[in-house]
Each structure stands twice: as structure tokens, then as C-alpha cells.
């Protein structure tokens, strides 16, 4: 299976701890996105990369959040000093460069569910 892979699937952490999530996109996709989804809501955009460049960050991405994609392949999302409000599903998605051929959709991983206790 060559879909988007996220690790870990589940993470329970104590408030104040740092956590890091990993996303491996589909190999030929140069765009990578992070979303956050809380219970009963749709995914909210956090940030997006074109290759290794982080091109856009949502205001939802506070100073405690940082994302990297150092070699334009996998990406990591780190949350420092976690708070209970950070509890959510963190979704990663990837897509090829936009083309008029219709390759417009993002392909999603299964997410990392974070619980902060």
C-alpha cells in the first residue's frame, strides 16, 4: 500500500509534555498538509508544504506548534508543552502539484489521535 502513512496512530500524553508526529506522504506527491480535527467538527487547516518549503500557516498554529519537512519527503509536527485543548485527531494529507488535468484532491492518512491528560 503506497498511501499516506502516519505514526503513531494514537498518543496519550500528560499535559506539559512535548509530542511529535510523523507523516510519510505518497512518494510522488510534493505537497503535504496538516489538519486538526476535533470531535464533531470538520478538519481545520494547519499548514502546508511545497517540497521542503512551508508556504502557509494557519493562525491556529500557535507558537507551541512547529512543522518541518526537511528533505521534501516525510514531515513532522511537534507540539510543545501540550494542553488539554490540543486533544484532537491530527490528519496529514498529500497531493501532487496542481494541474489542470484534475489532480486536485488531497489524499489523507488515517490520522494520529492525541489525548492530553
Partner 1 sequence: AQSVTQLGSHVSVSEGALVLLRCNYSSSVPPYLFWYVQYPNQGLQLLLKYTSAATLVKGINGFEAEFKKSETSFHLTKPSAHMSDAAEYFCAVSVNTGGFKTIFGAGTRLFVKA
Question: Min. distance of Cβ 5 from partner 1 in angstroms?
Answer: 10
Give the chain's end-to-end CA distance (angstroms, integer): 34
For the chain, the C-alpha Rg in angstroms (whole number) is 14
Question: Min. distance of Cβ 81 from partner 1 in angstroms?
Answer: 26
> What stretches of 4-117 show up as alpha helix (H) in DSSP?
none
Closer to partner 1 by Cβ: residue 18 or 98: 98
Around Cβ 117, how many Cβ atoms within 10 Å? Answer: 10
CA–CA gap between residue 98 and residue 87 (Å, rounded): 32
Closer to partner 1 by Cβ: residue 80 or 87: 87
Closer to partner 1 by Cβ: residue 51 or 104: 104
Residues 86-113: b if buried by 16+ CB within 10 A, e if exposed: bbbbbbbbbbbeeeeeeeeebbbbebbe
Among positions 44, 72, 76, 80, the unique one binding partner 1 when judged by CB under 8 A: 44
* Contacts of partner 1 in 48-107 (CB under 8 A): 48, 55-56, 91, 93, 95, 98, 102, 104-107
For partner 1, the binding residues (CB under 8 A) are 4, 31, 33, 35, 40-45, 48, 55-56, 91, 93, 95, 98, 102, 104-111, 113
Amino acid at each position: 500500500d503506497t498511501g499516506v502513512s502516519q505514526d503513531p496512530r494514537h498518543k496519550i500524553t500528560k499535559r506539559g509534555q512535548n509530542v511529535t508526529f510523523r507523516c510519510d506522504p505518497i512518494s510522488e506527491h510534493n505537497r503535504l498538509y496538516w489538519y486538526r480535527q476535533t470531535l464533531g467538527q470538520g478538519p481545520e487547516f494547519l499548514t502546508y508544504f511545497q517540497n521542503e518549503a512551508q508556504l502557509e500557516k494557519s493562525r491556529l498554529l500557535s507558537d507551541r506548534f512547529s512543522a518541518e519537512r526537511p528533505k521534501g519527503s516525510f514531515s513532522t509536527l511537534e507540539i510543545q508543552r501540550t494542553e488539554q485543548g490540543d486533544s484532537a485527531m491530527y490528519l496529514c494529507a498529500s497531493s501532487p502539484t496542481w494541474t489542470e488535468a484534475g489532480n486536485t484532491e488531497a489524499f489523507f492518512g488515517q490520522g494520529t489521535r492525541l489525548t492530553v491528560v
